[in-house]
Structure 1
Amino acid sequence: MQIPWESIFEVTNIYAMLCWLGLLFAPRREQALPLLFMAGCGLLALTYAVLIVGLMSGMFDADGPRSQDFSSLAGVMALFDSKGGATIGWIHYLAFDLFVGIWAARNADRRGIARWMQILVLPFIFLLGPLGLVLYLGLRTFAGKSVENGIAPS
């Protein structure tokens, strides 16, 4: 089955951006973050799951080379050398970076870290994933109050 990979890429990109804007600027009410988690991470993860299963089972056309070899650099490069593989890989990043961003925001709220400080760090999680996480972990070490175990990812 031919899949509109470019359209899926564009829609998921815009959707993730809207979720991140909500995370950055929407009021943090009791229901806001769980809703963002389910509507944001949940929908992106579901999209990823449907597409990766369809691609790996052969139901969906990758629109380029298709690889199922995750054990070598050449195999992973071949996977990303198709529109389907690159789109699915990007959705993977979008879902996990949003997950980490929501965790960091909740964690920062619990530690009393000011929103303006969060707004400085959260875009790095969105754009540079692990680097943003390292920045947040550094921020929480020096800003905000300590809770039960400052090292645990609670």
Structure 2
Amino acid sequence: MAPAQIFSIVSTIAALQWVLLIIFPKWQVTQWLIRNRVVPLLLSVIYCVYITGFFSIQGGGFNSIQEVRRLFADDGLLLAGWVHYLAFDLLIGFSILKSAQEKAISHWLIIPCLLLTFMFGPVGYLLYQAIQKIKTINI
């Protein structure tokens, strides 16, 4: 399957998982998917398949921005980078949701954190950390 097709599939799968986290966080299916980390595991397998192309890119690497640019010029490695983002952002989303549920933080406060984590990774995580600190001060 072409990288563009895989891109569409993994993006859809990740988006569906985010919908479950945001809209149906306590649903048994959502909780099962989180507990077993099904989607990040699937994405990790796909990542492993595509990252193997790393070894065939002449002049590519992680020591300079130019080397990284060479890696991402290859569609397979660009896909691997995208899948990497999808998997790790989901894991952060899972940890935010679990932490908020354990600390009885309103899901309404967590929704912006999850949306921002989905779209801008570290921004959502940072917002959750701020909310968590404010909530512990007020308790």
TM-score greater than 0.5 by the shorter chain: yes
Query: Match for residue 111 of structure 2?
Result: 119
Deviation at 1:143, TM superposition (A): 2.2
Distance 1:74 1:25 in 2: 41
Instruction: Tell whether the 8 Å contact from 1:113 to 1:144 is kept in structure 2 after alignment.
Output: no
Specify which structure has the higher proportion of helix. Answer: 2
Query: Match for residue 81 of structure 1?
Result: 73
Deviation at 1:32, TM superposition (A): 3.6
Deviation at 1:28, TM superposition (A): 1.7
Deviation at 1:35, TM superposition (A): 2.0
Distance 1:67 1:22, change over 3 A: farther
Give the counterpart letter for 2:43 in structure 1: L
Distance 1:97 1:12, change over 3 A: same
Equivalent pairs: percent with the same residue?
Answer: 29
Structure 1 length as normaliser, TM-score? Answer: 0.79
Unaligned runs of 5+ in 1: 59-64, 147-154
Structure 2 length as normaliser, TM-score? Answer: 0.87
Q: Say yes or no: does 1:138 pair with 2:130.
A: yes
Query: Match for residue 86 of structure 2?
Result: 94
Q: How many residues align?
A: 137
Distance 1:67 1:21 in 2: 39
Instruction: Tell whether the 8 Å contact from 2:40 to 2:91 is kept in structure 1 after alignment.
Output: yes
String of CA shifts for 1:13-68, please: whole Å, max 9, x gaps. Answer: 11100010011112425774342352211111111112212x2355xxxxxx6654
Distance 2:71 2:51 in 1: 11
Which residue of 5, 8, 24 corresponds with 2:6? 8
Query: Match for residue 52 of structure 1?
Result: 51
Distance 1:136 1:67, change over 3 A: farther
Distance 2:27 2:5 in 1: 33
Query: Match for residue 152 of structure 1?
Result: none
Distance 1:94 1:138 in 2: 23
Instruction: Tell whether the 8 Å contact from 2:10 to 2:43 is kept in structure 1 after alignment.
Output: yes
Unaligned runs of 5+ in 2: none
Distance 2:31 2:72 in 1: 32
SS at match of 2:37: helix
